[in-house]
Amino acid sequence: MKRRAVCGLSALCAALALAAPAAGDLQIGVVDDQAKGAAPERFFGQMSDVGLSEVRVTILWDPAEPLTIRDQPEIERLLPFAQARGIKVLFVLDLANPRAVGNSTAAAGSFAAFAAHVGRTFPSVRDIIVGNEPNQTRFWQPQYNANGSPAACVAYERLLAASYDALKQVDRGVNVIGVGLSPRGNDSPKAGTNVSRSPIRCLRDIGAAYRGSARRLPIMDELSFHPYPRSDRDPLLKGYQWPNAGVPNLDRIKQAVWDAFDGTRQPTFAERGRAGGLRFRLDEVGWQVRIVASAAHAYEGVENVPTTEEASQAQIYGGLIRYLACDPSVRSLLFFGLIDEPSLDRWQAALVRADGTRRPAYGAVKSTFAETGGRCVGRTRPWRHSTTVAGARALFPRGNVVPANRRSWVFRVRADESARFRAGIFRVTGPSKVDRKGIARYLARSGGVLRATGAAKAHWTPQVKFRSRKLAPGWYVYGVRLAAETNAKRASTFVSKPFRIKR
- Residue 366: give the domain boundaries: 10-372
318/410 same-domain check: no
Q: What CATH number corresponds to the domain at position 184?
A: 3.20.20.80
pLDDT band for position 446 (cuts 50, 70, 90): confident
**Residue 438 domain-assigned (yes or no):** yes
Q: Point out the domain boundary residue: 372, 407, 440.
A: 372
pLDDT exceeds 70 at position 23 = no
Is the Cβ–Cβ distance between 445 and 491 less than 8 Å? no
Q: Are residues 186 and 321 in the same domain?
A: yes
Instruction: Give tens-digit pLDDT for 237-259.
Output: 999 999 999 999 999 999 999 99
- Burial group, residue 407, by CB count within 10 angstroms (0-12, 13-18, 19+): exposed
What is the C-alpha separation between 240 and 185, in angstroms, rounded? 11
Same domain, 368 and 398: no
Let me know if residue 287 belongs to a domain. Answer: yes
Q: Mind listing the pLDDT tens digit for each residue in 72-91?
A: 999 999 999 999 999 999 99
Q: Does residue 95 sit within a domain?
A: yes
pLDDT band at 18 (very low <50, low <70, confident <90, very high): very low
pLDDT tens sequence across 195-209? 999 999 999 999 999
**Which pLDDT band, with edges at 50, 70 and 90, does 13 fall under?**
very low
Q: CA-to-CA distance for 496 and 491, rounded, in angstroms? A: 17
Q: What is the distance between the alpha carbons of residues 367 and 373, in angstroms, rounded to a whole number? A: 10
Distance between CA 195 and CA 324 in Å, rounded?
30
Q: Using alpha carbons, list the distances in angstroms from residue 3 to 19, 57, 70, 97, 308.
A: 31, 10, 14, 12, 21
Q: Has residue 349 got a pLDDT over 90?
A: yes
Answer with the one of 372, 406, 429 that is the final residue of a domain.
Answer: 372
377 located within any domain: no
- Residue that is last in its domain, among 372, 402, 422: 372
Parallel, antiparallel or unpaired: strands 474-484 and 499-501 = antiparallel
Residues 77 and 143 in one domain: yes
Q: Are 66 and 58 in contact (CB under 8 A)?
A: no
Strand 330-336 vs strand 474-484: parallel, antiparallel, or unpaired?
A: unpaired
Residues 18 and 136 in one domain: yes
Indicate whether 423 and 368 sit together in one domain. no
Measured CA to CA, the distance from residue 11 to residue 242 in angstroms comes to 52
Domain annotation covers residue 385: no
387 belongs to a structural domain: no
Pair (83, 121) in one structural domain: yes
Question: Are residues 367 and 397 both part of a single domain?
Answer: no
| pLDDT, mean over the chain | 94
145-203 tens-digit pLDDT: 999 999 999 999 999 999 999 999 999 999 999 999 999 999 999 999 999 999 999 99
Mean pLDDT, rounded, for 340-349: 96
Does residue 2 lie in a domain region? Answer: no
Indicate whether 75 and 212 sit together in one domain. Answer: yes
For the chain, the domain total comes to 2
Q: Tell me: do 178 and 213 sit in the same domain.
A: yes
Kindly tell me if the per-residue pLDDT of 69 is higher than 50. yes
Residue 448 is predicted with a pLDDT of 84
In a domain, 383, yes or no: no
Tell me phi and psi for residue 364, to 5 degrees.
-65, -45
Q: Would you put residue 217 in left (φ > 0), alpha (ψ -120 to 50) or beta? A: beta
Rounded to 5 degrees, φ, ψ at 222 are -145, 165
- The whole-number average pLDDT for the span 299-326 is 97
Q: Is the pLDDT of residue 4 over 60?
A: no
**Do 150 and 290 belong together in one domain?**
yes
Say whether both 259 and 178 belong to one domain: yes
pTM over 0.85: yes
